Amino acid sequence: MSTTHEPLKQWVEEMTQLCQPDNVVWSDGSQNEWDTLTQLLCDKGVFTRLNEEKRPNSFLARSAPSDVARVEDRTYICSEDEADCGPTNNWYDPAAMKELLKPKFKGSMKGRTMYVIPFCMGPLDSPLAKIGVEVTDSAYVVVNMRIMAKIGAPVLSRLEDEAAGKVDFGRDGHGTFVPCLHTVGAPLEPGQEDVSWPCNEDKYISHFPETQEIWSYGSGYGGNALLGKKCLALRIASTIAKKNGWMAEHMLILGIENPEGEKRYISAAFPSACGKTNLAMLVPPKELTDKGWKVTTIGDDIAWLWPHADGTLHAINPECGWFGVAPGTSYETNPNAMDSMLENAIFTNVGLTDDGDVWWEGMTDEAPAHLIDWKGNDWTPESEGPSSHPNARFTAPASQCPCIDPEWTNPDGVSIDAFLFGGRRESTMPLVFQSKSWEHGAFIGSVMGSEVTAAAIGLKPGVRRDPMAMLPFIGYHVGDYLQNWIDIGNKVEKLPAIFNTNWFRKDADGKWLWPGFGDNTRVLEWVLRRATGEVGGKETFIGTVPNWEDFNAEGLDFSEEDFNKVMDLDKEEWAEEIATQQEFLDKIGDKLPAEIAQERAALIERVKG
C-alpha cells in the first residue's frame, strides 16, 4: 500500500530512510489487521490473550518498569521564539532539537517494522477534524490507536480526496496532515533477541508548533506514544486553536437530561487522576434516575470547542476510545467504564488472574488470592506493593460504553451550557460555586489546582496549579492561552456558565465531606438550573453558591449542617490560597491578561471586605 498524496508519500520515504526499518506496513485499520497484530504481539510475548469467555478479544501488556507514564520533564515545545513557549513548558530551539534527535532516530527502527498509521481526530466529516499520520515501530501503538482514533484506509482516502479537490468539508488544514514520528528507540542488531517492552532510557516528546510536527523518541507508553491524544489533540491542536479562534481543552463532555426531557451538555476540566472518567460516565443515584434524570457521555478527556453559527460554543470529542486509569475503577465507582471494557480492550500494567482475566486495586473489595502482578511476578494480598501500577490503563472503544450519547460522533458537535473546573483539594474549596462572569470564570480556571498524584511522574507533593487542567498540555505560552479564553468570551453570544467544583474536601479528621461519584449529579442539577436561570443563589466573595433549599439532597444522608461544612468559606484559608495562587500567576509575567489580573485584584478586595 502507498498513497497518491505526494507530500505524505515523500515524508514516509524520508522517515524510512532516516529510521531504516526492515519493512514498512501501511495500517488499513481493518479487523484483519487487528487480528494479525494482536496475534503477533501475543507471539512475541508483549500481549497475553485474556480468557476468551470472560473477556473476548482482549489483551494484557506489561510495560518496562521505567516506562509507565507521561514524561513531562522530557516533553518539549520547540517554538521558533522561546518567548512563545512560556514558563510552564520546556523549550528547545526547533532546528537544534531536530539536529539533536536526528542521530537518535537514525537507524532507530532497524530490525523492526515501521507502521504508517493515518488517523483522524474528530468525526471524519467535522470541519474541526484533524488528520495526522503516525509512523511508529510499535505494533502496540497501532492497536491502541485503532481504539483511540479512526485510523487507516478511510482516513487516507479522505486525505487523498481532499488533496485532489474531490471533497471539501471546510476542514481547517484541508488536504494536509500532521506528521507524527515515533520510535521506541530500540533498534535490533541481526539475530538480537527482542525484549517484551522495548524502549529507551533517553526520552524526548517533542512538538514543533509552527510546522505542526511531533517527534517522539524512547517511550512506548500512553500519551508519549499514542500521538493523537495529548501531543496532537492537545498540544498541537491548542496552538492551531489559538490561531484560528477556537479551543482545544483537557475536558470531558457529558449530556444531562432533566425530568422534562430537556437535554443539555456540560464540559469539565479536571487534572489527571481526579475522577474525570468517572464523572464523564456517572450513574445518577436512584432518586434522581426515578425522576427521569439521565447522564450520557460524549468524551472523557479532550474537547475541541468552537464558536458556532448558532451563537453558542459547540464541542466535539476528538477521540474514539477511553484510555483510562484502571486502579480504582469498579462496578461501584464506574459501571459504564467497566462495561466499556468487557471485550475488544487492551489492559496495560494491571494484574492477571489465574483464570486469565484482569484485576487491579479497587476493582473488588477483596483481592484474588493469587495474581501475576504488573511486573510479571507472583502476587498475593500479602505481597509488598500493589498488583497493578497506579497509572495502569485500560484502552476501550467509546462505542461500547452503555451510556454513550447518540450525538457523540455528530460532526457539528453539541452546544455547551456549562463549564466545570475542579481539582482534588482537601480544604479551602467548597463543593461548588459559580463564577460572576466569563472573565471571572477564566480567572478561576487559571489558578485551579490539585493535590499531586500518580499520572505524572517526578512531581513534588502539594497543590499543583494547573490552569484549566492544561498545564502539561498547552502547546504555547500560558499567558497567550489565557488570552484565548478571554478572546473567546468576546466572540460567543451565549457563553457557557462557569463553575468550580471540589468533590474531595475533607473534615479535620480526614473524612470526605461529600460522597461524590453518582451523587455528583446533584451538583450538576444545580449547575444546570443556574445555567438556565431557574434558581437563584447566594453571593459570596468567591462567587455564587447554592442555597440549601435549592440543593437536591433527596434520599441522601446529608443534612443542612453537612452542606454547610462542605460549602464552608474560611477567609484565613482563602488568604493563604490567594497568596499561593500569586506565586503561580507571577510566573506568567507580562502575558497575564489584564482581565485575569483585574479579577484577582477584585477577589482580594472582596476577601478583605
Q: Which is nearer to ligand OXD, 434 or 501 (CB)?
A: 501
CA 99/CA 103 separation, integer angstroms? 7
Q: Are strands 178-183 and 213-217 parallel, antiparallel or unpaired?
A: parallel
Q: Cell numbers at residue 475, please? A: 502547546
List of residues contacting Mn ion (CB under 5 A): 301
Which of the listed partners (Mn ion, ligand OXD, none) does 501 bind, with a CB threshold of 5 to 8 Å by partner kind? none
Beta-bridged to residue 214, according to DSSP, are 180, 207
* Cβ pair 200, 184 in contact under 8 A: yes
Which of the listed partners (ligand OXD, Mn ion, none) does 455 bind, with a CB threshold of 5 to 8 Å by partner kind? ligand OXD
Instruction: Give min distance, CB of 319 to ligand OXD, in A.
Output: 10
Instruction: Give min distance, CB of 26 to Mn ion, in A.
Output: 29
Which of the listed partners (Mn ion, ligand OXD, none) does 216 bind, with a CB threshold of 5 to 8 Å by partner kind? none
Instruction: Give min distance, CB of 224 to ligand OXD, in A.
Output: 10
**DSSP secondary structure of 38-68:** HHHHHHTTSEEEPPTTTSTT-EEE---TT--
Q: Which is nearer to ligand OXD, 119 or 221 (CB)?
A: 221
List of residues contacting ligand OXD (CB under 6 A): 70, 222-223, 272, 301, 323, 455
Q: Which is nearer to ligand OXD, 3 or 450 (CB)?
A: 450
Give yes or no: 85 in active site.
no
Q: Which is nearer to Mn ion, 213 or 301 (CB)?
A: 301
Instruction: Give min distance, CB of 455 to ligand OXD, in A.
Output: 4
Instruction: Give min distance, CB of 460 to ligand OXD, in A.
Output: 17
Which of the listed partners (ligand OXD, Mn ion, none) does 588 bind, with a CB threshold of 5 to 8 Å by partner kind? none
Beta-bridged to residue 346, according to DSSP, are 59, 395
Which of the listed partners (ligand OXD, Mn ion, none) does 223 bind, with a CB threshold of 5 to 8 Å by partner kind? ligand OXD
Instruction: Give min distance, CB of 111 to ligand OXD, in A.
Output: 30
Give the nearest residue (CB) to ligand OXD: 272
Which of the listed partners (Mn ion, ligand OXD, none) does 162 bind, with a CB threshold of 5 to 8 Å by partner kind? none
Q: Cell numbers at residue 158, please? A: 479522505
**419: nearest Cα among 341, 488, 483, 506:** 488
Which one from 180, 199, 274, 401 is the annotated catalytic residue? 274
CA 567/CA 150 separation, integer angstroms? 43
Q: Which stretches within 505-570 are classed as H helix?
A: 520-531, 560-566
Q: Which is nearer to ligand OXD, 206 or 391 (CB)?
A: 391
CA 208/CA 227 separation, integer angstroms? 13
Q: Which is nearer to ligand OXD, 147 or 156 (CB)?
A: 147
- Characterize 507-544 residue by residue with b for buried, 16 or more Cβ atoms within 10 angstroms of its Cβ, and e for exposed: eeeeeebbebbbbbbbbbbbbbbbbeeeeebeeeebbb
What residues act catalytically?
274
